[in-house]
A = this chain, B = another copy of it.
Amino acid sequence: MYTLGVRDHLMIAHSFQGEVFGPAQRLHGATYVVDMEFRRAALDTDGLVVDIGLASQALGRLLGELNYRNLDEVPAYTGRNTTPEFLARDIFERMRAAIEAGELGPQAQGLTALCVTLNESHIAWASYEADLC
């Protein structure tokens, strides 16, 4: 299995609902350094997992929809706790849609899996990995 990874980041505000979150129930924020990994079983005809230029652009574009925002006010997240593990899945689905829409080029249809990791500090991170199909 081949993997290509690229890194970008976003900076958001949010708050959590539920006693389990303790002081994180207050409005606070985070930098998420986002690692996006693309996987496939065999390289494409250029010797690539994916066009790294298109992949980085797509990641930047979809993070841009969330960047510098208060996630408590993003309609798509109403009633949800935007924990890093939840956001990892959400970003996975946004990248899956970008691939299906052809935003990463025609050869990206050969990608078989994605792994999205959100690093929230030097001591904590969350990820979501699944097959594409």
Chain B residues within 8 Å of A120, by CB = 11, 31
CA distance A129 to B41 in the complex (A): 10
Residue A75 at the B interface, CB < 8 A? no
Residue A20 at the B interface, CB < 8 A? yes
Copies of this chain present in the complex amount to 6
Q: Which of A39-72 contact B (CB under 8 A)?
A: 43, 46-49, 51-53, 56, 67-70
CB distance from A61 to the nearest CB of B (A): 14
Over the window 119-133 of chain A, the binary record of Cβ atoms lying under 8 Å from chain B Cβ atoms (1 yes, 0 no) is 011111111111000
Q: Which of A1-47 contact B (CB under 8 A)?
A: 1-9, 11-14, 18, 20-24, 26-33, 43, 46-47
Over the window 71-84 of chain A, the binary record of Cβ atoms lying under 8 Å from chain B Cβ atoms (1 yes, 0 no) is 00000000011011
Q: Which of A92-129 contact B (CB under 8 A)?
A: 105, 117, 120-129
Chain B residues within 8 Å of A122, by CB = 7, 9, 33, 122-123
